[in-house]
Amino acid sequence: MEQDKFKPEIDWRDLFKKPIKLFGYSYFYFLASLIALGLLYIWNLNTIGKNAVPPALLKDSTAFIQDIPLQSPRLIPPVNIMRAGVSSTESVNKGRELYKNNCAACHGENGMGDGISASMLNPKPRNFHSLEGWKNGSKVVQIYKTLQEGIPGGSMASYSYLPPLDRFSLIHFIRTFSNNQPKDSPDDLKQLDAAYELSKGMNVTGQIPIKKAIAITMKESKVQAVEIEQAKKMFKESSIEGAIILRRATNDETKVLTTLLQNKKSLASLNELIKVVTADPLHAGFRASVSNLSANEWSEMYGFVLTLMKKESR
Ligand code: HEC
């Protein structure tokens, strides 16, 4: 009888008859989720807006690893630090151009740290208008260090491949975004010069992007593999005297053919072949007995090696 008195909060049978009542019960939840959705939308407005912009530089900032750029060997002339370290209209103008191409994507056209890729980066690119919280600092010499070494742990890469004078131009330009920049003392500049030997000039060795280097090496080794396979066929099948002698002198077919193909260019005379083979016969894939070949046998073998190489060098 106690149970009869108990009236459930929701009368399901009643609700089933008049489903509209359900709205009354769920009204609060409905409202709450609506507000939550609204807030979520507002919070993400920035990202949503940014997503409408076609992806520029970066698709995924965590995957952003800058490869070294293609660079031919060159001599970098000595830098006069007392001149380069001081701002001039000329250097600022040059820096403005360089900035557009190299820095604006992250730091923003106007140096606010709001470039097109900025929203995807953590930590965020520096806003050059503020002098607070710089990691290396905003003196000329400090920014030089940043450009030389990059800032570890983020997407501020090293720009050491830019010629020193270009880096000074960039520095003078980005320092124009803020007044009250700290001044470099002559000693600061001298120390920078000493640290990076700027007044000595540099011999920069050429470099190619790692990705490209890998692609080239892979292509070369593939060509080699194909070449060796083709040479093998001839090596096995040819019945001329030279081929027979070569086969008899061979311990490891692949090694022999690799040795010959690798030295293709230097095998211009019989003497060269003898040198290449007898320098280290076992390592080159030959039997030790190769050194017992007669002059005639060598010359027969050389004849065959030439046809083998000629066929392959086409
Ligand atoms: C891929 C994005 C990206 C590009 C391109 C880029 N930067 Fe940065 N830069 C950053 C980020 C991110 C930081 C903040 C790093 C940190 O605080 O750890 C930063 C920080 C800096 C700082 C402040 C260092 C400090 O002391 O705190 C300087 C100066 C700077 N960048 C200069 C440049 C210049 C000049 C260029 C162009 C040559 C450039 N950056 C290009 C992302 C970039």
pLDDT digits (tens, 9 = 90+) for 187-220: 999 999 999 889 888 766 667 777 777 777 766 7
Distance separating alpha carbons of residues 177 and 114, to the nearest angstrom? 14
Q: Compute the distance from residue 204 Cα to the ligand 1 centre, in Å.
A: 24
Closest CA to 169 of 140, 146, 190, 198: 140
For residues 145 and 142, what is the distance between their CA atoms, to the nearest angstrom? 5
The radius of gyration of the chain from alpha carbons, rounded to an integer in Å, stands at 36
CATH fold group of domain 74-204? Cytochrome Bc1 Complex; Chain D, domain 2 (1.10.760)
Best substitution site from 126, 146, 181 to test ligand 1's pocket, by max atoms within 8 Å of Cβ? 126
- Extents of the domains making up the chain: 74-204, 210-313
Chain centroid to CA 287? 45
Kindly report the average pLDDT of the chain as a whole number.
84
Distances (CA, A) of 182 to 141, 160, 176: 11, 23, 12
Q: Which atom of ligand 1 is nearest to the CA of 123?
A: 12
- Tell me how far the alpha carbon of residue 180 lies from the centroid of ligand 1, in angstroms: 20
Ranked by mean pLDDT, which of 19-33, 66-80, 108-122, 279-293 comes out on top?
A: 108-122
| Model pLDDT, residue 284 | 87
Residue 156 Cβ contacting ligand 1 at under 6 Å? yes
Q: Which of 60, 62, 106 to mutate to test the pocket of ligand 1 (most atoms within 8 A of CB)?
A: 106
What is the number of the ligand 1 atom nearest to the C-alpha of 64?
1
Q: Model confidence over 72-130: pLDDT tens digits?
A: 666 778 899 999 999 999 999 999 999 999 999 999 999 999 998 898 888 999 999 99
**What proportion of the chain, given as a percentage, has pLDDT over 70?**
81
Which residues have C-beta within 8 Å of that of residue 229, sequence separation ≥ 6? none
pLDDT tens digit sequence for 229-263: 888 999 999 999 999 999 999 999 988 998 888 88
The residue whose CA is least distant from atom 39 of ligand 1 is: 103
Ligand 1 pocket check for 100: Cβ under 6 Å: no
pLDDT at residue 225, as a whole number:
81
pTM above threshold 0.75: no
Q: Is 161 in the pocket of ligand 1 (CB under 6 A)?
A: no
107 C-beta closer than 6 A to ligand 1? yes
Q: Which of 3-7, 39-43, 60-64 shows the lowest per-residue confidence on average (mean pLDDT)?
A: 60-64
